[in-house]
Amino acid sequence: MPVSSSPRTLFDKIWADHVVDRLEDGTCILYIDRHLVHEVTSPQAFEGLRMAGRRLRRPDATVAVVDHNVPTSDRSQPIEEPESRLQIETLEKNVAEFGVPYFPLRSASQGIVHVVGPEQGISLPGMTIVCGDSHTSTHGALGALAFGIGTSEVEHVMATQTLLQKPAKNMRVSVEGKVGPGVTAKDIMLAIIGKIGTAGGTGHVIEFAGSAIRDLDMAGRMTLCNMSIEGGAKAGLIAPDETTFAYVKGRPFAPKGEAFEQACAYWRTLASDEGAHFDTEVTLKAEDIVPSVTWGNSPQDVLPIDGVVPSPSDFKDPAQAAQVQRALDYMGLTAGQKIAGTPVDVVFIGSCTNSRLEDLRAAAEVVRGRHVAKNVRAMIVPGSGLVKVAAEAEGLDKIFLDAGFEWREAGCSMCLGMNPDRLTPGQRCASTSNRNFEGRQGPGGRTHLCSPSMAAAAAVTGTLCDVRELMKETV
């Protein structure tokens, strides 16, 4: 750990502690502490190793899960879709051949890679963590440098345990103050993306700071960092603090006893130094943030729930105006209409963004004593088998089932519809996932991103609505 006199950011410190070598043009060979692998983006990389006769350098720093393709219904039967089955079987063959620790479909701990990593203590503060998945930024919540990579880089990490990288720029997003009732980490992040835009973080690593961020529990911090990529950032991270250490302590793969204390001592040195330089600074007031939803096909298309849908004429650039019109057409919305009151067909509560126990608790609080509206299909997909079991121990499954929700098995599910959980053309969905792109949840599907409590409110009222109204009512 080199000592530097000039003040450094959290990102600068983690970066410096992982540089193996620096090439002539400034490209660094960056050491990777954890490589998380799933079935969709790894088969071509394993095949590449085999073709070149290369070994997997660090099976003991690699962990594999199945999540994207897995059915979230009955798992006693073989997987129906032949291509999904082949991808999962291929992963199982590869992890056996290369000796990779693996959470199989039937493991009680199986789940979405970005839920399982932190939950198991595989992802830890101060680490570099990569995965062939853009939402790897989630793990930054622990105070790690975590980012998504393509399959060629997956193969590079497998063969060398490093990546060739140039340092990113530093961006700090500070949220100061206290959020109001009904406002969650998801609303904070949607507000940030609405402010900086989907390309606002390009080339940067975002450090989230400020009192509203420090007040978040780890699940909330993961929601925030998860969607850093939706703001275009390479990664998002939050300085590790007592909340982080309490979360990590005792997790299955975390350091134990004396080793944990030593690790904590190191992790405490990682916070950005006073006076550290940030290339870009953004500040939001927590009090200004309200429960939000998206209206269009980009995560930056954010509206406060009491807002109205924009018009193409609000935009000067003809390309942007055309894009707004296209989004209105795709989403079946009219310029100037209030977003609240828009009827929904489906409610999806799940995904690596919002499928943790705390998310399910927040949804259950809204659902308790109410019933899913007529003609709405509402589903809960816990982020992992362990989240599911913990929720059941609290009786959350009963609240959801009594209200008419589906209570499903863990996986990526309708966030991207690689398994059978998909929207049909024209269906409108209030979703706690991360992307509202055209066709993301199924061809022709219409996605409105929101928090678990807002999604729960949409489920019980049948329309996008302000969860704060429901919180006022006593059931």
Q: Which residues are part of a known binding site?
A: 352, 412, 415
Asked if 236 and 224 touch (Cβ cutoff 8 Å), the reply is yes
Using the rule CB under 8 A, is 243 a contact of another protein? Answer: no
Q: How far apart are the first and last CA of the chain?
A: 56
CB of 150 to another protein, least distance (A): 4
Which of the ranges 125-133, 306-314, 343-351, 397-405 carries the binding residues for another protein, by CB under 8 A? 125-133
Size of the site for another protein (CB under 8 A): 84
Sheet containing 34-37: give its strands across. Answer: 102-103, 62-65, 34-37, 128-131, 145-148
> Could you tell me which stretch among 72-80, 172-180, 433-441, 463-471 binds another protein (CB under 8 A)?
433-441
For residues 388 and 392, what is the distance between their CA atoms, to the nearest angstrom? Answer: 6
Which residues inside 441-460 make contact with another protein, applying CB under 8 A?
Answer: 443
Name the segment binding another protein (CB under 8 A); options: 126-134, 169-177, 371-379, 462-470: 126-134
Among 234, 356, 388, 428, binds another protein (CB under 8 A): 234
DSSP summary character for residue 137: G
Would you count residue 127 as binding another protein (CB under 8 A)? yes
142: helix, strand or coil: helix
Q: Residues 280 to 339: which contact another protein by CB under 8 A?
A: 298, 319-320, 322-323
Contacts for 459 with CB less than 8 Å, ≥ 6 apart: 344, 347, 367, 372, 373, 376, 378, 403, 405, 430
Nearer to another protein, 32 or 222 (CB): 32
Structure tokens at 435: 């992307």
The per-residue b/e assignment along 99-131, b for 16 or more CB within 10 angstroms, e otherwise, is: ebbbbebeeebbbbbbbbbbbbbbbbbbbbbbb
Residue 26 structure tokens: 């400034």
Q: Which of 436, 408, 304 is nearest to 350 (CA)?
A: 408
Ramachandran sector of residue 439 (left: φ over 0; alpha: ψ -120 to 50; beta: rest):
left
Show contacts with another protein in window 10-39 (CB under 8 A).
17, 20-21, 23, 25, 27, 29, 31, 33
Closest approach of another protein to the CB of residue 89, in Å: 10
Contact string 199-228 vs another protein (x = CB under 8 A): x--xx-------------------------
For position 255 contacting another protein by CB under 8 A, the verdict is yes
Interface segment toward another protein; rule CB under 8 A; list 61-69, 275-283, 336-344, 353-361: 61-69
| Beta strands 377-380; 346-349: pairing state | parallel
Question: Closest CB to another protein among 133 and 466?
Answer: 133
Q: Which two tokens stand for residue 270?
A: 């990682």
Q: What residues form the annotated binding site for [4Fe-4S] cluster?
A: 352, 412, 415
The reply on whether position 96 binds another protein by CB under 8 A is: no
> Shortest gap between Cβ of 398 and another protein (angstroms)?
30
**Minimum CB separation from another protein for residue 360, in Å?**
24
